[in-house]
């Protein structure tokens, strides 16, 4: 439910790594420029014992990600720049389910307004609205500025995936100055859910680390799902298992969706799947629900579509 079709920036020296998982997060001295500290940590693996390295080119990223999807039998809700997603779809038509990555900046500079988005969804080419990353811009999903987009998605019955949870550690100091920790709270979804009760919404990153807020919102709004993207491979495994087990123990195991949030690290797909499969507190049926069944129900896949994916 959460794959990214990205471009790789031209870089000098080693390509960045990501902790899989991180051991430590945000070790810095306030006197230092945090963006440089973070970049150094990604390049030297100073915060992790195991890591995933990014490919060096856009073409290799696409090829390796699609290869990882085929190896692990993944069908991915895939978002990114529209032209990039189209290229990935052309290369792997049976694996890529096109989605639209969106924020207010996209509306301003790329013309992704309500009207243009509606045309794209009505065409049938794009199936999901997300990842919606307005958290990075300082907006809650309940903000009135976002309301017309939710109304459009509900009217067209387009599923919506909204970033509710972790970005990069120290996000406000890494180019997203309006990013706020309080927007990790799933409670920010409430008014949007109440205004649009027929809308299919999943909270990406499961609102980590604000667990109680996530549990309360799931309990109160039965139409809401969550995905475990990024947290399934990036945060310390003991913390992820604590978070996931609480969600399952609270009765929400049928509303948890797998996603990798692979970004520029193709290995994140397999790493995330392994983390789910290695969870001793999950039964085989619960693992299958998280890895496939819940998404099939949420997306309303037909029996024939499910048969082809097995």
pLDDT single digits (tens) 208-221 = 999 999 999 999 99
Sheet order of strands, 256-257 included = 3-5, 76-80, 96-102, 128-132, 160-163, 201-204, 224-227, 256-257
Contact 206, 1 (CB under 8 A): no
Distance CA 234, CA 5 (A): 19
Residue 117 has pLDDT above 80, yes or no: yes
Radius of gyration (C-alpha) of the chain in whole angstroms: 18
Note the pTM of the prediction, 2 decimals. 0.96
267-277 vs 58-71: helix crossing angle, rounded to 10: 30
pLDDT single digits (tens) 131-181: 999 999 999 999 999 999 999 999 999 999 999 999 999 999 999 999 999
- Band of pLDDT at residue 84, cut at 50, 70 and 90: very high
Distance CA 50, CA 56 (A): 19
- Band of pLDDT at residue 310, cut at 50, 70 and 90: confident
Residue in 86, 106, 104 with CA at minimum distance from that of residue 96: 86
Contact 69, 78 (CB under 8 A): no
Which pLDDT does position 44 carry in this prediction?
94
Inter-CA distances, 158 with 41, 50, 106, 216, Å: 39, 38, 18, 25
The Cβ-side half-sphere exposure at 160, using a 13 Å CA radius, reads 32
Residue 245 has pLDDT above 70, yes or no: yes
Q: What are the beta bridge partners of residue 122?
A: none
Residue in 68, 71, 83 with CA at minimum distance from that of residue 3: 68
For 262, the token pair is: 């692979």
* 128: CB partners within 8 A, 6+ apart: 77, 79, 97, 98, 99, 100, 158, 159, 160, 161
The fraction of the chain above a pLDDT of 70, given in percent, is 98
pLDDT single digits (tens) 97-109: 999 999 999 999 9
Q: Which helix (H) or strand (E) holds 129?
A: strand 128-132
pLDDT single digits (tens) 25-56: 999 999 999 999 999 999 999 999 999 999 99
Q: Which helix (H) or strand (E) holds 128?
A: strand 128-132
Domain at 3-14+55-309, CATH from 2.120.10.30, 3.90.79.10, 3.30.300.130, 3.20.20.140: 3.20.20.140
- Band of pLDDT at residue 12, cut at 50, 70 and 90: low
Inter-CA distances, 139 with 2, 162, 183, 242, Å: 21, 11, 8, 28
* 184: CB partners within 8 A, 6+ apart: 135, 164, 165, 166, 207, 208, 209, 210, 213
Contact 78, 88 (CB under 8 A): yes
């Amino acid at each position: 439910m959460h794959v990214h079709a990205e471009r790789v920036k031209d870089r000098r020296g080693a390509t960045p790594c990501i902790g899989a998982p991180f051991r430590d997060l945000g070790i810095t001295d306030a006197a230092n420029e945090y963006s440089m500290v973070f970049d150094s940590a990604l390049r030297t693996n100073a915060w992790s014992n195991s890591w995933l390295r990014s490919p060096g080119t856009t073409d290799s990223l696409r090829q390796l990600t699609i290869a990882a999807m085929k190896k692990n039998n993944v069908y991915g809700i895939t978002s990114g720049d529209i032209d990039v997603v189209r290229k990935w779809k052309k290369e792997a038509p049976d694996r890529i389910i096109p989605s639209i990555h969106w924020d207010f900046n996209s509306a301003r500079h790329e013309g992704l307004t309500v009207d243009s988005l509606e045309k794209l969804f009505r065409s049938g080419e794009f199936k999901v609205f997300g990842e919606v990353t307005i958290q990075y811009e300082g907006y809650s999903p309940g903000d009135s500025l976002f309301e017309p987009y939710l109304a459009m998605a509900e009217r067209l019955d387009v599923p919506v995936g909204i970033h509710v949870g972790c970005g990069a550690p120290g996000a406000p100091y890494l180019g997203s100055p309006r990013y706020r920790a309080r927007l990790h709270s799933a409670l920010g979804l409430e008014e949007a859910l109440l205004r649009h009760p027929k809308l299919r919404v999943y909270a990406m990153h499961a609102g980590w680390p604000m667990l109680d807020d996530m549990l309360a919102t799931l309990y109160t709004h039965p139409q809401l799902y969550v995905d475990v993207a990024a947290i399934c491979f990036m945060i310390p495994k003991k913390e992820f298992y604590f978070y996931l087990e609480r969600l399952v123990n609270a009765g929400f195991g049928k509303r948890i969706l797998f996603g990798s949030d692979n970004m520029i690290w193709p290995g994140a797909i397999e790493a995330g799947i392994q983390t789910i499969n290695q969870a001793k507190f999950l039964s085989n049926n619960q693992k299958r629900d998280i890895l496939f069944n819940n998404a099939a129900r949420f997306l309303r896949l037909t029996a024939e579509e499910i048969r082809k994916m097995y």
